[in-house]
Structure 1
Amino acid sequence: MSEHERRVLLGRIVGAFGVRGELKLDSFTEPKAAIFRYQPWTLRDAQGRERSFDGARGRDTPKGVVATLPDVSDRDTAEALRGTEVWVPRSALPPSKPGEYYWIDLEGLRVVNAEGVEFGRVSHLFSTGANDVLVVQGDRERMVPFAMPDYIVSIDFDAQLITVDWDADF
């Protein structure tokens, strides 16, 4: 899948705000209102139906992030979008800074340890609060703390390879 086809989940609509079709958002960006910098949005509901919007606008309020979307002009239409996920193309995000990585860019990379033992491919990452964890699917599932350079030795996007300092039996 090309970078332009990959999408990143940036938030979720949690309900209507007022009577004019505004939406309450749970934004996963930092700062929260930065979600409006990344467009177009693809809204995906629980049944997998998708709808694209360009021109989402909004603001951060004491009660959270509030958005307006083209063609959403009343509370009933806004409320019908409750639970809908907000996705954007990966290409809409700025390049990562040196030493920083978007999780989506790591997904699918091969993982080997310093001894050359093949672990599999990155399935996904998650945060524990203390650190992020790389989940690798291969002959079995391995979870490697995403701590550079302690456990993550190198990331080579050209070779599509992550080298880890991790015992194959662990």
Structure 2
Amino acid sequence: MIVLGRVSAPFGIQGWVKVHAFGSDQHALASMPRWWLGCDPDSSDGWRAADLEDSREQGGALIVRLEGIDDRTAAVALKGMYIGAPREALAEPAEDEFYWGDLIGLAVVTEQGEPLGMVEGLIESSAHDVLVVRETQDGSPAGKERLLPFVGKVIRQVDVAGGMIRVDWGADW
């Protein structure tokens, strides 16, 4: 499951919810007719399908109504749930784009070719996204965790097909 966003709050009394999209294009999320909702973004179990009935932008935020969510009480129950979709349900990203889920497990190396570990996750922060990189031993996560800012000055190349991210980061940092 590729996690695309999260339900942040109920909106009004008719079952609408405010959604926080994990990416720069919340309109892409609103264009998907079917969403999957789940409590644990790291689990492949417990996701349930939900059809999108309507969406609109309200003060820069994405507001949506899902089928079967008809009042505030039902909307409150969705607060904090993750929004996702199976990889095959998503459009192929443009050549210079990727889904966060595509980065999990990629090797991370410095510009000098020194291995730093593999991508274990991403953290969204108000300033910028953060890449969580864990040192590996024999291809398995082990050891030190590094948090790398996901910004152009640090992330120099993302090669999803090649299974690697090249970064401007010291191995001793």
Q: Say yes or no: TM over 0.5.
A: yes
Which residue number corresponds to residue 25 of structure 1?
Answer: 18
Structure with the bigger percentage of strand: 2
What is the correspondence of 1:85-100 to structure 2 with a 5 Å cutoff? 85-100=82-97
Aligned position for 2:150: 146
User: Structure 1 residues 158 and 68, CA, compared in 2 at 3 Å: closer, same or farther?
Assistant: closer
| 3-state SS of paired residue (2:3) | strand
Equivalent residues of 2:93, 2:99 under 8 A apart: yes
Greater shift in the superposed pair: 32-41 or 117-126: 32-41
Quickly say closer, same or farther: Cα 1:69–1:164, change in 2 above 3 A.
Answer: closer
Aligned to 1:35: 29
Instruction: Give the equivalent residue in structure 2 for 1:52.
Output: 49
Give the distance between the partners of 1:70 and 1:140, measured in 2 at CA.
44
The one-letter amino acid of 2:134's match is Q
Distance in 2 (CA, whole Å) between partners of 1:168 and 1:96 is 31
Report if aligned partners of 2:108, 2:165 keep a CA contact under 8 Å in 1. Answer: yes
How much is the aligned-residue C-alpha RMSD, in angstroms? 3.1
The 8 Å contact of residues 16 and 69 in structure 2, kept in 1 or not, is answered as: no
Residues 99-157 of structure 1 show CA distances to partners (whole Å, capped at 9, x for unaligned) of 33332221210112234332210122335555443221013112333344x43343332
Q: Structure 1 unaligned runs (5+)? A: 1-5
User: Shift in Å at residue 57 of structure 1?
Assistant: 2.0
The corresponding residue for 2:4 is 9
Aligned equivalents of 1:37 and 1:112: distance in 2? 36
CA contact (8 A) 2:4 2:29 kept: no
Cα displacement string for residues 76-99 of structure 1 (whole angstroms, at most 9, x for unaligned residues): 333333333322234444333343
Which ranges of structure 2 fall in alignment gaps of 5 or more residues? Answer: 136-142
Tell me what 2:70 maps to.
73
Aligned to 1:163: 166
- Shift of the alpha carbon at 1:43? 1.7
Please say if residues 108 and 116 of structure 2, whose CA atoms lie closer than 8 Å, have aligned partners that are also in contact: yes
- Which amino acid letter does the alignment assign opposite residue 163 of structure 1? R
Name the SS of the counterpart of 1:140 in structure 2: strand
Q: TM-score with structure 2 length normalisation?
A: 0.70
Deviation, 1:64, is 5.0
- Say which SS state the counterpart of residue 24 (structure 1) adopts: strand
Matches of 1:105 and 1:147, distance apart in 2: 17
What is the rounded CA distance, in whole Å, between the counterparts of 2:164 and 2:60 in structure 1? 43
The aligned residue for residue 138 of structure 2 is none
Higher Cα radius of gyration: 1
Runs of 4+ in 1 over 6 A off after TM superposition: none
Q: Match for 2:170: what amino acid? A: D
